[in-house]
Structure 1
């Protein structure tokens, strides 16, 4: 709907409406007076020009369309008056007076229309600015992030003076002028804060927060000097972590961020965002302390695991060494001495000692991170050698060990001493299981075969009681044992040893009696050429 009036009834006060009414009456009266004078008097001047006064009076209360309507009305009155007073026969001077009057009316109407259009555009711009300011203030006040508005005008003046003096390195200037940081802090003043900032500053009032920023940030704060330096060098954005003191002197760790304006017109209200990260910093410090404690505990655990491993591995060869030494003494104590039997016992003693020495060397390699090279291991020969190492226990318990091997079984790519220790552990476990269960038939079957995936497979089966469901799930877990005096480390070490060479160790129960352990070792080097031992790696492998 086209509006002829500037204001709606509710937009003006009673006095203002009375003034508008008076102006409208004055404008209408003047229009009537000019029309009468121009039509019924013999004045030879351009009386119609006085319609301009009517247009100027109407401009205060007419809208843009009202101005056009008033201009059209005055133009119509001027033309009607001309024909009523002069008719169709007019001289040139009379016609020129009409043209002058109409020109004045049209120009005045155009200027008033333009003025009203500009006024409306200015009002719209003011309204948008006011709305934007309202939205900004709403966001500023309701934001959960602490926001400061700082006046950097004085700081900018201070830095401009330095630039005029030719200063380009603020750090060097600060070293020769120790009071400069304090001057910078004193030049920054807080002009507004939101509720989150008031809470950060100690739950104070807005009035208490306004003023010099030096009350809350000390002049020797590195982040504040970084802020000044970024401003001096014309950076657009600055972020840093620093400390802030609240109104009561309590310190907090904050993350501050600010974006500087392109020109200096907005330096009186620079918004700085602050995030309280005190709890995060404390949590990080706690986490670092926990990590240090965990590392200490890991080292202690590694020492414990290494000790348990060494004790378990050395137990068997040392026991065999002792028994062979006792046997040697018995053969020598006979009358006459059985020298051949004593020599065989001494040889077994030397062999067990070498085994114990090899275990110590392996442990030393773990600690020194020395590589242990892979080699081609002839598994049939390894089984026979291992059987001779355990000959005394095998004969004592009346156990038979059967080896089934194809003639063309390829050598495994592994460490002979490591795989032999794994095999000794598995055979010893089988013998102990059969003895504890009182098995009538005591037989260990070792079978060698190859797979299509490039592995040579060695299965060790016994005629013992087999494994329980719980044992099947946890048999390779560190410290899990079914023996009353067991340590639970042997099979965990065996598994980690085989896997370190790229192989696999699994366990299952037989269909009738007993259990079977299966070792799969690569024929080619599918694992690592060397095995780098370290204590944390061992802990990760065995728990």
Structure 2
């Protein structure tokens, strides 16, 4: 919020008044001391000592009381009355001291100047007018009361002009000071607002940002850095206690900045991080700026670019293969319908049709993969979503297939594209049923939804009690076109894993003992930055 000129003056009034009160008390003490004839010899020749003594003591007492009781005068009326009393009493002392020759007329410059600092416009000029009129009137009255004493009207007139000059000068100067102060406050407010905006932007960045000093202590860190490292970051925390691997890579970078640091994990199950370092311009202490990026996201982006290029290539190849494949399948169909074909040849045409259908299925899967849309993550309540998925799946699956569900608790949230999650889970459930038994037999699979105790991430397991995957083939489970079935395409698990990774989730396989398989989906945190 910007501060107005009135607010600026109000904020400075207590300080100015304190200084002015101290000045008046000191001046009152000095003027009171002059009541002693021994002290004023050679300084001033009083024309009315009794009036001077009474006025000086009244001036001192009033100023002491004002200094003790009125610390903060905020209203213009109070300030005007205060300045008026000051001018009036000093004018009385001016008269008692003998007029312009005493030099006390110069003392009225201070209340006029102070009044014009605190009061503006015509009311400030009114104080200068009152002081000028008081001196002119008292000088004229002295000339009548004491004709033998010559009075300098020219000196009094010059003092009056000085009062007005001081009033105008002080008003102009204070106006400029107020404008300068307002501009400074506006700029400070703008800088503070800009600083808050910069802090908000840094806190919302997906890249983790940290600033460490020469002793490897954390000075600043944003929210993304704390999420990536999996620990709360406190100012002054040692980097080695926060992330030992990161501290090691920082020391390696100091030795040879040209070597790219290797990725690391700050805790088991955490994200694989890539650290980059940048030395900040040295002021008093040298600081280092640390950038933390999720290596999985970077690898995913690179992989998506490769897959996009590969997808365009395979899509064009698939289109070229589809036309002759359709001709072969159609020719085989015509051969089967022929009345003169032998049984042995009929079997060969069935083999042609069977493999043509398999090739066509592979082509359709490849085309679907190349046309895959970008993920649109949403906040999903997995507890409700899995329950709805089971109900929908049962409506389209055989009555002999059963899905048992185990939910740890309600309200397990994540961020994922619901359509892509349905595609992944449908594929995994079909695979689990396929390996649980022959179609038509009683087959059961289990879905287990929980939050991992170590990472706190939502986890969904698809479990079957089939024979499982042989250890020799575990490394190839998620490779494209790898399958152990003669009728399979080998793209189901590959596509499922790609869809999970595009939503920052992971899909992994675990062999169960004594038999069975577990496909585990570890979802992203619901508060992940998207």
TM-score by structure 1 length? Answer: 0.36
